[in-house]
Amino acid sequence: MTDQNFATALAAKIDAKTKPLGALGRIEALAAQVAQVQGTLTPQMATCRLIIFAADHGIARSGVSAFPPDVTRQMVVNFARGGAAANVFCAANDVALCVVNAGVLGGAFGLEGVLDCPVAEGTENSLDGPAMTAAQRDGALAQGRALGLADACDALAFGEMGIGNTSAATLIAHCLTGRAVADLTGRGTGLDDAGLATKRDILTAAAARCSGVTDPAEVLAEYGGFEIAMMTGAMLGAAEGRRIILVDGFIASAAALIAVRMYPAARDIMVFAHRSTEPGHNAILEALDAEPLLDLGLRLGEGTGAVLAWPLVKSAVAMLNDMASFDSAGISGRAV
């Protein structure tokens, strides 16, 4: 079946369901997207895994966060114990969870449920120089790609944990969208007005180091985190494997923007889960021409928004596969 014939057949199948044309709105578009990704009129969407990438950031030492770097490690332990919001949402929605130590201070965890593959114990301070070397960046991308490509789930959701990573995402957004740092900088973990002003000044100074740099791989090395680099690689691997990618909030969307700039076809595989309250998120969403499914005032990260969007993706595919047509239900269609 040619691409045009497939698109025609898919539209006809959706339109023949027992509903007015277009009455299920974005659920119809979501069903069509999954069918196109899988290349079948009867797609499967039964399994999902959340992969949380964790790493520390050198720029956190400059005072851009309300929390100390120790919290990254403490939260990974919390994930392993099942105590975080991501754990709760995964359990409630039958989503498998894996946590990846991409570069947390303090070394390997050796905990069940935590995959230890650190690039290093945190990045360098991007205020003073590149956050990582080209070799570290490429290694993180390769490890992430292998994870994304090997996973057999129908959908992959990606989350992150790393004190200072809203700063990294802000600098990435600045370089790749051209928006001013001041307009992109948010409160992250809950900075007060004075803390926000300090963060804005620090990030403006960091951005001045590489004014005009727009190559995505170079931007990633200059300002990214190991969790962002590994997540970018995982998105590329998932796209290569034709797995639906559930993109979480601000930091995950920064990784998605890098992935799409590296491999534009990845955009068609991505479902954007929610709109973060971080101001930089809107700039990235506009650059990706993305409209998230949910707007719940979230700004936690951890992949929480992506997991909450998973039931919508499952429901869209169930509609396409299981909802009766006018013919099968013996219901009269629209009058001509």
Residues with a known catalytic role: 302
Question: Under 8 Å CB-to-CB from 114, ≥6 apart: which residues?
Answer: 76, 79, 80, 99, 100, 101
Question: How far apart, in Å, are the Cα atoms of 37 and each of 223, 257, 269?
Answer: 32, 19, 6
Place of tokens 């919390």: 78
Distance CA 316, CA 336 (A): 28
Among 319, 324, 247, which Cα is nearest to 35's? 319
β partners of residue 157: 50, 246
Q: How many CB atoms neighbour CB 205 within 10 A?
A: 13
Q: Mind giving me the DSSP string for 39-75?
A: TSSS-----EEEEEEEE--GGGGGS--SS-THHHHHH
Burial readout 114-129 (b: 16 or more C-beta within 10 A, e: otherwise): beebbbbebbbbbbee
Contacts of 152 (CB under 8 A, 6+ apart): 47
| CA end-to-end distance (rounded Å), the chain | 29
Contact between 161 and 52 under an 8 Å Cβ cutoff? The reply is yes
Instruction: Give the burial string for 268-277 (b: 16+ CB within 10 Å, else e).
Output: ebbbbbbbbb
